[in-house]
């Protein structure tokens, strides 16, 4: 395993020798050759508009005509904007709840469905189904389960003696937990797929060796599965974090940000300020803020991962 045994090539020295420089040039050329087919498309169609969007964050623009440079006005407005503050808080709330729960649930599913059992294909398909079920159906059925008076969840809670069960999606306090729960339910099959692929990289010999050494199931999980799975875990963690910060569709159909602003998230704010209100400069500023926030978190996770890999 690269993570455990590989002696990584030393990092390129600051002042390369003549031979090294040739090597570096050769590698750079080779590296870019591999990267280019994807990078060309990516740079032109994603990077350019994204950079343009960041530029727009310092302008006033209604999507038509010339953007008018306004300096830091949009960012100043951001600081004092109550909607931004609320949306930021809600987005962080959603992420903090959604990431660890989805991580645990999807890894659990992947482990449970990585064995040779009868009906494996069926169970895997069932686990993936929430992700491909029409989001309208998901919203309607979950909202039905959450219904404060008629819903089975609250009927159950009342039966077991909770006299004042929460109003879930109709209650500002409980709407976010309800949406998080549905989000976990919907996304876990998706990330399960990624974990399943990652689990296949672990050589069965390692498990055999661990068994011979007398490791129990938990120890094998701790000492073989988790370390070998680290590249996948890192990937899932990053994608899940970014995905949670960008959550949009689920919120729109479940609560549309309500009741009040209790589930309003940043992506929604970006959409409203831009497409609905026609203030693309300001909406770009919100996007920029979201980007910087996610970037910092990603860098922290990246640095931690680099440290662990060494």
Partner 1 sequence: MKRRILQGLAAATAGALLLGACSSGGGDAAAAAETLDPDAPVTLTVSVWNLEGTPEFRALFDAYEAAHPNVTIEPVDILADDYPTKLTAMMAGGDTTDVLTMKSVMDYSKFATAGQLADVTDVVEGVPDLAGLDAYDQDGAYYAVPYRQDFWVTFYNKGIFDAVGEEYPSSDLTWDEYVDLAETITEKAAAAGVTPAEGSTTYGTHTHTWRSVVDAIAAAQTGGDQLGSEGYGFLEPYYEHALQLQDAGATLDYSTASTQKISYRTMFTTGQAAMLPMGTWFISALLQAEAAGETDVEWGIAPMPQEKATDEAVTFGAPTAFAVNKNAENVAAARDFAAFAAGEEGARAVAAIGVVPALQSDAITEAYFALEGMPTDEVSQAAFQPGEIVLEMPVGPTTAQVEQILTEEHQNIMTGAVPLDEALATMAERVENEVG
Partner 2 sequence: MTTVVGPRTGTTAPVPAGTPAPDRRRAHAVRPWAKPLSYVLLTALSALLLVPFAWMVSSSLKTNDQVFTVPVQWVPRELHWENFVDIWTRVPMLTYLRNTTFLATVITVLQLFTGSFAAYGFSKIRFPGRDGLFLAYIATIAVPWQAYMIPQYILMQKAGLVNTFTALILLQAFSAFGVFLMRQYYMSVPDELVEAARIDGLSEFGIYRRIMLPLSVPALASLGLLTFVNTWNDFMGPFIYLTSNDLWTVQLGLRQFVGQFDAEYAMIMTGSVLSVLPILVVFLLGQRYFIQGIATSGLKG
| Chain residues 133-162 in contact with partner 1, contact rule CB under 8 A | 136, 139-140, 143-144, 146-148, 150
Q: Looking at 11, 13, 71, 161, which residue binds partner 1 (CB under 8 A)?
A: 71
E strand or H helix at 68: strand 68-69
Q: Which does 69 bind (CB under 5 to 8 A by kind): partner 2, partner 1, none?
A: partner 1
Is 65 an interacting residue with respect to partner 1 (CB under 8 A)? yes
List phi, psi (to 5°) of 59. -135, 175
Q: Do the beta carbons of residue 262 and residue 166 sit within 8 Å?
A: no
**CA 26, CA 46: separation in Å to the nearest integer?**
28
For residue 69, the cross-strand partners are: 59
- H-state helical runs in the chain: 18-42, 48-56, 73-80, 82-112, 120-132, 135-146, 152-159, 172-199, 204-212, 217-220, 226-228, 230-245, 249-254, 266-271, 280-309
Considering only residues 179 through 208, tell me which ones interact with partner 2, judged by CB under 8 A.
185, 189-190, 193-194, 196-204
Helix (H, G, I), strand (E, B) or coil at 16: coil
Q: Which does 156 bind (CB under 5 to 8 A by kind): partner 2, partner 1, none?
A: none
Compute how many other C-beta atoms are within 10 angstroms of the C-beta atom of residue 96. Answer: 12
Residues 30-49, interacting with partner 2 (CB under 8 A)? 30-42, 45-49
DSSP one-letter code for 71: T
Residue 125 binds to partner 2 (criterion: CB under 8 A): yes
Comparing C-alpha atoms, which of 267, 216, 215, 271 is closest to residue 243? 267
- How many Cα atoms sit within 13 Å of 130 on the Cβ side? 21
The residue (of 45 and 96) whose beta carbon lies closer to partner 2 is 45
Give me 100's structure tokens.
């660890």
Q: Can residue 14 be called a binding residue for partner 1 (CB under 8 A)?
A: no
Nearest to partner 2 of 151, 166 (CB atom): 151
Q: CB 138 → partner 2: shortest distance, Å? A: 5
- Contact (CB, 8 A) for 78 and 269: no
Positions in 83-122 near partner 2 (CB under 8 A): 112, 114, 116-117, 119, 121-122
Nearer to partner 1 among residue 67 and residue 89 (C-beta): 67
Residues in binding contact with partner 2, number by CB under 8 A: 110
Residues 270-289 that bind partner 1 (CB under 8 A): 272, 275-278
Given partner 1, partner 2, none, residue 225, with its beta carbon under 5 to 8 Å by kind, binds: none
For partner 2, what does the binding mask look like between residues 228 and 257, x meaning CB under 8 A?
A: x--xx-xx--xx--x--xx-x---------
Q: How far is the CB of 52 from partner 1 (least distance, A)?
A: 5
- Using CB under 8 A as the binding rule, the residues of this chain from 129 to 158 that contact partner 2 are 129-134, 136-138, 140-142, 144, 150
Least gap, CB of 77 to partner 2 (angstroms): 16
Q: Report the residue number, 20 or 277, with the smaller CB distance to partner 1.
A: 277
Pair type for strands 68-69 and 59-60: antiparallel
């Amino acid at each position: 395993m690269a993570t455990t045994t590989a002696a990584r090539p030393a990092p390129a020295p600051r002042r390369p020798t003549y031979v090294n420089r040739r090597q570096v040039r050769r590698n750079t050329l080779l590296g870019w050759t591999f990267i280019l087919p994807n990078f060309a498309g990516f740079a032109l169609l994603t990077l350019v508009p994204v950079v343009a969007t960041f530029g727009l964050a310092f302008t006033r623009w209604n999507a038509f005509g010339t953007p008018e440079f306004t300096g830091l006005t949009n960012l100043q407005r951001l600081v004092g904007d109550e909607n931004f503050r609320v949306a930021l808080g809600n987005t962080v709330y959603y992420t903090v709840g959604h990431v660890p729960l989805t991580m645990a649930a999807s890894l659990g599913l992947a482990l449970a469905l990585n064995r040779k059992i009868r009906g494996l294909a069926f169970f895997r398909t069932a686990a993936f189904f929430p992700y491909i079920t029409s989001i309208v159906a998901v919203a309607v059925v979950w909202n039905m389960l959450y219904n404060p008076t008629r819903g089975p969840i609250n009927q159950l809670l009342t039966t077991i003696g909770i006299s004042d069960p929460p109003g879930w999606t109709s209650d500002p306090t409980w709407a976010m937990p309800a949406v998080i729960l549905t989000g976990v339910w919907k996304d876990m099959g998706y990330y399960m797929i990624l974990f399943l692929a990652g689990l296949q990289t672990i050589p069965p010999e390692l498990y055999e060796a661990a068994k011979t050494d007398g490791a129990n199931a938990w120890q094998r999980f701790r000492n073989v599965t988790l370390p070998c799975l680290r590249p996948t875990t890192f990937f899932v963690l990053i994608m899940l974090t970014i995905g949670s910060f960008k959550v949009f569709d689920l919120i729109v159909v479940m609560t549309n940000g309500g009741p009040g602003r209790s589930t309003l998230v940043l992506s929604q704010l970006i959409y409203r300020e831009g497409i609905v209100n026609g203030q693309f400069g300001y909406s770009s500023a919100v996007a920029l803020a979201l980007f910087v926030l996610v970037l910092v978190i990603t860098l922290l996770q990246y640095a931690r991962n680099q440290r662990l890999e060494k």
